[in-house]
Structure 1
Amino acid sequence: MTTAVLHDLDLTSEAYVSDPHTAYDRIREAGDAVYLSTHDAFGVGRYDAVRQVLGDWETFSSARGIALNDLTNEATAGMIIATDPPEHDALREVLADKLSPRALRALGESVNAQAGVLVDDLLGRTTDFDAVVDLAQAFPIQVVLDLVGLPADGRDEVLRWADAAFSAAAPMSERTMAAFPLLQEQLAYLSSIHRDDLVEGSMGRAIYDAADAGRIAQESCVPLMSAYVTAGVDTTINAISNAVQLFAEHPEQWDALRRDRSLLPNAVNEILRYDSPLQYFCRVATRDAEIGGDPVAAGSRIVVFYPSANRDERKWGNPLEFDIARPDAAEHLAFSYGIHGCAGQGLARLEAQAMLGALAERVERFEVGEPVRRLNQLIRGLAHLPTSVRLAD
């Protein structure tokens, strides 16, 4: 059996960062597991193959490194994203209480109210704004950092730190190297926070309580807070800003959502399927295996491309069509899958639905100017999106 090889695909190149879907089309066309010689790794982009890898942690391990460079893999060893059971289960359980469906139901009224206040305040001042800076960034930072219980003094830096955390998982490049000082800055800040500085009843307090009870190691507290703060804002920011752009480009879909708010959950799923923020993470094969019909040897690094799976024509009818009524939109893999499915995905969905619901009450039509792409090697999103709205009567 011959393994397909792509020699010219460089995940650090401007061509890839600015237009990853051209690369994903090539990977899907070539096979289930395609050798990327530039990175000495196998790229996986077909839906069934991606789901297979993500669903089999025993064969495709996160504990052997989720990044495409050794420095980050060494630095993240033992963190929740780079562990397998049983270590992973213990860390995940600490987050579960604050992110359970019951806990999120209790948060729902507050999150909806915060979204309404933000939208009312913004649209009360202007109908011309930056949908990224004025809307998408402001909301999840407030919600997530309140949940974690962090004091106000470090909140302005969260976006820089989150951007750096994802950049650091890419193959080594100037952009990757520039991320490391920011990661050290974030860890130093979190390490400087005394548990009494964290809000009573917050996730941050719960993490330290779990360490006191012996459920996790004390040295896991700061990395666990870091991981959640990093992952907890980026997906929601990009989902909200992508939604504004998509609904500006597809006004009939916005009209459908305004007519029928029961479409909100599925609309969020379709936004995440159509334009998935997280581009990839890695696994390492623990034994000789096959991905789909393609062999990979033990020790091989596997790059899992989530957005590619979410536009795989083998899975989705008309994958390039944005349709908030798509019946299988919930099967997207933007939040990963299996034991490493995003722990905070319920909160991310809640936030995105709250923001879109608040906008649907006030906005009849979006018009957007030229978007400015955020150049991050792992997260695809917008840095700026000039937006004008026509208010509803």
Structure 2
Amino acid sequence: MTAARTPSIDIDIYSDELTLRPYEAYRQIRDAGPAVYLAPHDTWVIARYENVREVLKDTDTFSSAAGVSLTAPVNEITKGTTLASDPPEHDTLRAIVASSLTPRALATRKPGIAQQAEQLVAGLVERGEFDAVTELAQVLPLSVVPDFVGLPQEGRDQLLDWASAVFNAIGPPNERSQRSLPALAELGEYAGRLANSGALAEGSLGAGVLAAAADGRIPATQCPALLLDYLGPALDTTISAVGSAIYLFARHPEQWDKVRQDPKLIPNAFNEVVRLETPIRGFCRQTTRPTVVGGVEIGAGERVLVLYASANRDERKWQDPEKFDVTRRAGDHVGFGYGVHGCAGQGLARIEAHAVLEALAKRVSAFEVLGTDRVLNNVIRAFSSIRVRVTTSNGV
């Protein structure tokens, strides 16, 4: 532990108020320094874009192997995942999980996902009013991801609750984190049953994990953790981003007009959504040795919270960062992480989100938000409901 913890700030960014409305607190942390001691949670926090990238790139100094949570028992539970490991172990594990996520492997799935998105959107638009979260953003990932992992039907109805519990648990040991622990245990038992039964579809990501154990590349005891590695992030991050996209386009109809007029903007528009409303607040690291971040000394063995969502609104990086602009060159956001821990599943997330936005752009000229509810989660920023009315391209 360091003798002097300066600069320091007394803000509980995990309070209900700041979980729902965090951006002014993030700005205060950025302005306080390149590395700031977050007193309520006994952790350093990195909130500026340049320093976030610096920390995420330096896996030798800022280790994930001790876990990425602020809660010690959760760090113990997540050992053996790609999220909570460092090279070279991380590279071995990632190669197994990511083998199904290469651009070539995903290309074969793209037409089917596009067709599913077309059918889903067509039905909702015909109705005129729908919930853009429960009836749109959740539906495609809940169809695509479990099939991709190779899950049986048993347990699929609990995946969203389990995924939410994972992200709540990764936060500090607050009430939300504590309430999530039983669901986290259920998810672990589920993954153990899957690994032991081998009941995963042939050719799936999950089957590839079991094959790696059979070939001796990983111990069989590591299979449950790797089966969970992709599941939660693949669901909640995509659902969050698609929901936020609908909300932002409703609030900024001129940006939706740009997308409709030039659908080639959709990939860039999706990057801008992820930048402005980053799905994952951030993850922790632990220092392996004394280090310096932007002139601030941090001792060995310190917890360091890396705030992706703050970095993506850093005035030092982005011009007019609070503005939603689908033409902004936003491809270097850190919404999917950065470096060796960059999200392995972001390719599939992009395919799903792009397919939904493309299908909407063909049919919808405007969105009207009728009501919203937000998720109160330690890590994920998302809506639980966005009730919308759409105007179709033919004016109906």
Question: If the length of structure 2 is used for normalisation, what is the TM-score?
Answer: 0.96
Whether 1:340 aligns to 2:341 is yes
Amino acid paired to 1:141: L
SS at match of 1:380: coil
Whether 1:171 aligns to 2:172 is yes
- 1:11–1:377 CA contact under 8 A, matched in 2: no
Distance 1:221 1:99 in 2: 18
Distance 1:60 1:352 in 2: 32
Matches within 5 A, 1:139-150: 139-150=140-151
Structure 1 residue 190: Cα displacement: 2.4
- 2:280–2:335 CA contact under 8 A, matched in 1: yes
Query: 1:117 matched to which residue of 2?
Result: 119
Structure 1 residue 30: Cα displacement: 0.2
Partner deviation per Cα, 1:206-244 (whole Å, 9 max, x = no partner): 110011011111111111111211111111101111000
Q: Please point out which of 252, 255, 273 is paired with 2:254.
A: 252
SS at match of 1:282: strand
Partner deviation per Cα, 1:73-107 (whole Å, 9 max, x = no partner): 11112222110012111110012221001111111
Matches within 5 A, 1:361-376: 361-376=362-377
SS at match of 1:253: helix
Distance 1:260 1:129 in 2: 25
Distance 1:162 1:333 in 2: 21
Structure 1 residue 377: Cα displacement: 1.1
Partner deviation per Cα, 1:287-308 (whole Å, 9 max, x = no partner): 1111122111111111001010
Query: 2:45 matched to which residue of 1?
Result: 43
Partner deviation per Cα, 1:335-354 (whole Å, 9 max, x = no partner): 01011101101111111101
- 2:5–2:37 CA contact under 8 A, matched in 1: no
Structure 1 residue 11: Cα displacement: 3.4
Whether 1:93 aligns to 2:107 is no
SS at match of 1:139: helix
Distance 1:192 1:64 in 2: 26
Distance 1:73 1:202 in 2: 27
Structure 1 residue 122: Cα displacement: 2.2
SS at match of 1:153: coil
Q: Please point out which of 4, 9, 33 is paired with 2:7.
A: 4
Amino acid paired to 1:299: G
Greater mean deviation of Cα atoms: 101-110 or 48-57: 101-110
C-alpha RMSD of the superposition: 1.3
SS at match of 1:355: helix
Query: 2:228 matched to which residue of 1?
Result: 226
Distance 1:111 1:201 in 2: 17
SS at match of 1:152: coil
Partner deviation per Cα, 1:137-171 (whole Å, 9 max, x = no partner): 11111111110111122111110000000000111
Structure 1 residue 362: Cα displacement: 1.2
Distance 1:177 1:122, change over 3 A: same
Amino acid paired to 2:311: A
Partner deviation per Cα, 1:43-94 (whole Å, 9 max, x = no partner): 1100001000001000100012210011111111222211001211111001
Query: 1:183 matched to which residue of 2?
Result: 184
Runs (4+) of structure 1 exceeding 3 A deviation are: none
* Aligned residues between the structures: 390
Matches within 5 A, 1:22-37: 22-37=24-39
Query: 1:217 matched to which residue of 2?
Result: 219
Distance 1:220 1:267 in 2: 38
Query: 1:54 matched to which residue of 2?
Result: 56
Greater mean deviation of Cα atoms: 227-236 or 115-124: 115-124
Stretches of structure 2 that go unaligned for 5 or more consecutive residues are none
- 1:280–1:304 CA contact under 8 A, matched in 2: yes
Question: If the length of structure 1 is used for normalisation, what is the TM-score?
Answer: 0.97
Structure 1 residue 261: Cα displacement: 1.1
Partner deviation per Cα, 1:159-208 (whole Å, 9 max, x = no partner): 00000000001111221111111011112222223555211111111110
- 2:70–2:172 CA contact under 8 A, matched in 1: yes
Distance 1:20 1:219 in 2: 39
Whether 1:154 aligns to 2:155 is yes
Structure 1 residue 378: Cα displacement: 0.8
Distance 2:31 2:265 in 1: 33
Query: 1:357 matched to which residue of 2?
Result: 358
- The sequence identity of aligned pairs, in percent, is 46
Structure 1 residue 370: Cα displacement: 2.8
